[in-house]
Amino acid sequence: MMEHFFSVLGIWLGVIVTFAIFSFLYKDNPFYKVAEQIFVGLSAGYWFVYTIYFILIPNLFDPLINDFAGNWIKLIPAVLGIMMLMRLLPKTGWVSRFPIALVIGTTSGVFFLRYLKSDVINQLTATMMNPFTGGDWVVVIGQIMLVVGTLTGVIYFYFSKKHEGVFGATAKVGIYFLMISFGAAFGYTAMARISLLIGRLQFLLGDWLGIISP
C-alpha cells in the first residue's frame, strides 16, 4: 500500500517537474525557476552524500580502520585531498597548487600514452590498407573515402605551406569531408535531442496517463 502510494507520488512529482521545465519553451517563468533550483540543490546534495558514502568511506576510511598497516599508503592521497580543500581559505589557497600539479602531471602522462596508442597509432594503422579489397563495391567506396578523407583532412590542417595549387585543391577536398562530418554530427545531435523528448513523452503518455504501454 505504502509502496504504491510512493510510486504514484513519484510519478506525479515527475510530471509536475517535467511540465515546469517544459514551460520555459513558452517563456521564462517562476515554475521553471523553482524546478531548476530544486534540480541544482538536489544534485549538490546527492553528490555530497554519494562522495562520502561511496567514495570516501569504502576507499579511504574503511581500509584505514580495518587494516591500517596494509593501507597506510592511502594517507598520501588523503593528505593531498586535504591540501586541495585548503583552497577554500584565501590565506592557504596556495597549498592546493601542489595536488593540482600532481593531478595534471599524472593525467598528462597516462593520457599521453593511451591516446597515442589508441587515437594515433591504431587509427593510422586502420587507415593503412588496400582500399580495393575486402568486399563488394559499397565497402570499397567506403574504404576509398576513408583513405582520401583522412589524407585530405590532415593536409587541410597542415599550415606550414600556403594552401594554393594542387596542395590547396587537396586541402579544399579536406574541408568538404570536414563539412560532411559536421553535418553528420549535427544529425546525430538532433536525433539524440528528439530521443530525449520521446523518453519524456513515453513517461507522460505511458507511466502517467496510461494511454500507451510504458
Partner 1 sequence: MSENVKKKQIDRRWIFLLLFLAVAIPLIFVIGLPIETTENVRMVHGLIEQTPKGSKVIISFDYDPASKPELHPMGKALMEHCFDRDIKVIVTALWPMGVQMAEDIYSKIKDNYPDKKYGVDYVNMGYKAGGIVTIQAMGKNFRDIFPQDMNGTSIDELPILDGINNFDNLGFVFALSAGDPGIKQWVQVAHDTYGRPVSGGVTGVSAPAVIPYVNQQQQLIGLLAGLKGAAEYELLTETPGTATSGMDAQSVAHLIIIIFIVAGNINYWRNKKAEKKRGE
Instruction: Catalog residues that contact partner 1 under the rule CB under 8 A.
Output: 25-26, 50, 54-55, 59, 110-111, 114-115, 117-118, 122-123, 125-126, 129, 181, 184-185, 188-192, 194-202, 205, 211-212, 214
Cα separation values, 182 from 159, 171, 186, 193, 196, Å = 21, 16, 6, 17, 21
Minimal distance, residue 90 CB to partner 1, in Å: 29
CA-CA distance, 203 to 186, in Å (whole number)? 26
- Grid cell 596556495 is found at 94
Minimal distance, residue 213 CB to partner 1, in Å: 8
Minimal distance, residue 40 CB to partner 1, in Å: 14
Q: Using the minimum distance from each CB to partner 1, give the nearer residue, 92 or 106.
A: 106
CA-CA distance, 57 to 75, in Å (whole number)? 13
Minimal distance, residue 116 CB to partner 1, in Å: 10
Q: Using the minimum distance from each CB to partner 1, give the nearer residue, 78 or 205.
A: 205
What is the CA 118 to chain-centroid distance, rounded? Answer: 18
